[in-house]
Amino acid sequence: MRLSWIIIAKYTILVCPNKADLNKPRYINAGGRLIDLNIPKVMGIINITPDSFYSGSRISGAEATVAAVGRMIADGADIIDIGGYSSRPGAPELPAEEEEKRVLPAIKLIRNEFPETVISVDTYRAAIAEKAVVEYGVHIVNDISGGDADPEMFKVISKTKVPYIMMHMQGRPGTMQDAPQYNDVVSDILKYFGERIFKLRSAGVSDIIIDPGFGFGKTTEHNFDILHRLEDFAIAGLPLLVGLSRKTMIWKTLGITPEDALAGTIALNTAALMKGADIVRVHDVKEAIQAVKLVCRIKNL
């Protein structure tokens, strides 16, 4: 564990030579809009897919998409995250053409209907990310592979200058839950981030958000260990996103289904917010906003 801390510290120091800079940035620049992270933000999930693990998140058709986004915005969502493929455990690989056909028209529709909304595209494909940003005005790229699935991704982020959400995943969705193993799950993830933060900073990328990737190549024990030690990720000096919404660690622990996992989601999101999460990615925006408000009262924000 000590070695991994030294490695992450090494990369952080190379990136941020001034001690004061080791503090998290409190703003990210999304297309000229400064997103203030002094108050945690809520990202609403829009899945343009027929097979997401939570049936309540599956959306098909323009009317349903507009209605779902409209509800999230009315409930207080700060960011809308649009994805065109399922990354659930065991999910088959989706051809790039099909992903593009699903996600880009949905982005265009949302941009037209809700022009003031900050939009994130959930993709690990550099070509789709670039097209979404350059041609469709997307503000943030959310990459579950942390740049591993497509070697062109970091180049696209460097060129487009958009905020980049870098998630940790061990393996690929189809196989990631077969037998995930770590020496120490938190320090291994920190080492992973440290190496990639250095590459991104060297390429001139300013706005980086890290996501430890709950449920992506982790056992339930790994997931709860990460949540228990979430404050350790502050050493990276970057904003932290967590995606816990209705995940296996909740419903398997409680012996329920994803459809019944709202209360558990609120409980774990609250714990994450108390431990320093800056963005929570959720299916249920209204309840997440309430959790943020109550945590802010506790923290006197």
Kindly give the interhelix angle for 285-299 and 62-75, rounded to the nearest 10 degrees.
20
Query: 74-98, pLDDT tens digit by residue?
Result: 999 999 999 988 766 666 678 899 9
Residue 163 pLDDT exceeds 90? yes
Query: 199-249, pLDDT tens digit by residue?
Result: 999 999 999 999 999 999 999 999 999 999 999 999 999 999 999 999 999
Query: 36-83, pLDDT tens digit by residue?
Result: 999 999 999 998 876 555 556 567 788 889 999 999 999 999 999 999
Main-chain phi, psi angles of 279, to 5 degrees: -140, 135
pTM: 0.88
The pLDDT > 70 percentage for the chain reads 84
Cα separation, 27 vs 272, in Å, equals 19
Average pLDDT, integer, range 132-147 = 97
- Reference 78, options 47, 50, 39; nearest CA is 39
Six token digits for residue 206: 């300013």
- What amino acid positions are annotated as catalytic residues? 247, 281
The pLDDT > 90 percentage for the chain reads 75
Residue 176 pLDDT exceeds 80? no
Average pLDDT, integer, range 258-275 = 97
CB contact at 8 A, 61 and 48: no
Which residue do the tokens 């622990």 mark?
253
Residue partners of 75: CB distance under 8 A and separation at least 6: 44, 285, 286, 289
- Reference 107, options 119, 98, 97, 95; nearest CA is 119
Give the chain's mean pLDDT: 88
Residue partners of 215: CB distance under 8 A and separation at least 6: 89, 223, 243, 247, 248, 249
Could you tell me the residue ranges of all domains in the chain? Answer: 2-299
pLDDT at residue number 138: 97
Q: Indicate if the alpha-carbon torsion angle 200, 205, 206, 210 is positive or negative.
A: negative
- Band (pLDDT 50/70/90 cuts) for residue 25 is confident
CB contact at 8 A, 132 and 99: no
Per-position DSSP letters for 140-203, written without gaps between them: EEEETTTTSS-TTHHHHHHHH---EEEE--SS-TTTTTSS---SSHHHHHHHHHHHHHHHHHHT
Q: The CATH number of 2-299 is which of 3.30.10.20, 3.20.20.20, 1.20.140.10, 3.40.50.970? A: 3.20.20.20
Regarding predicted confidence, which is higher, 271 or 16? 271
